[in-house]
A and B are shown apart, each in its own frame.
Chain A
Amino acid sequence: MSDYRQMWESLELDLPAHDHLLNVLGKFYGDIYLSQQKRLKGMEYLDFVISEIHGLRIKELLDAQKSGQKVFGTFCVFVPEELIWAANGICVGLCAGAEIGKGEAEKVLPRSICPLIKSFMGFKLARLCPFTEACDLVIGETTCDGKKKAFEIFAEFKPTYVMEIPQMKRKDDYELWKNEVWRLKEKIEEVTGKKITSESLKDAIKMINNRRRALQRLNILRQQTPVPISGRDALLINQISFYDDPKRFTEKINQLCDELEEKVKRKEGVVPQNTVRILLSGCPMAVPNWKLPYVVESSGAVIVDEESCIGERNTRDLIEETGETIEEMIDNIVSRYMKIDCACFTPNKERVEHIIELAEKYQVDGVIHYTLQFCDPYLVESYKVEKALEEAGIPVLRIETDYSMEDVEQLKTRIEAFIEMLK
Chain B
Amino acid sequence: MTLKKFFQVYSGVAILAGAALFAVVRVAYNQITFEAPDVTTIRICHWQLESGFREALQDLIDAYEKEYLERHGEKVRVLQLPVSERGYGQFVNTGLVGGIAPDIIERGFSRVVNDPSYLTRYFLPFGPYIESPNPYNVGTPLEGIPWRQTFSDGLISAYDRELLDYYMIPFSMFTERIYYNKDLYREATGRDDSPTSFLDFINVCNTIRDYAARQQRSLVPLAGSKYQAGVFQRKYTNTFLTDIIRLSDANLDGKCSLFESYQAYRNGVWSFESPALLASWQCTTDIAANFQQGWMAALRDDAVFMFVQGRALMFASGSWDASSLLAQVGDAFEVGVFNFPAPSDHPEYGKFARAMPSEAATGGGIPWGLNRATKHADLCIDFLRFCTTRDHNAQFTSHINWLPIVQGVTLSETLKPFKPRIEGIAGHFDYEISSELRLRAEGGRWQLFSGRMTPLDYAASLAEIYDRTAMEGFRTELEKNRRNMRNMDRIVAGRLLALAAPEASDIAAVERSVMQLLYANQAKTHDLAMDTHFLQTVTQ
Q: Determine if chain A interacts with chain B.
A: no
Binding site for A on B (CB under 8 A): none
Binding site for B on A (CB under 8 A): none
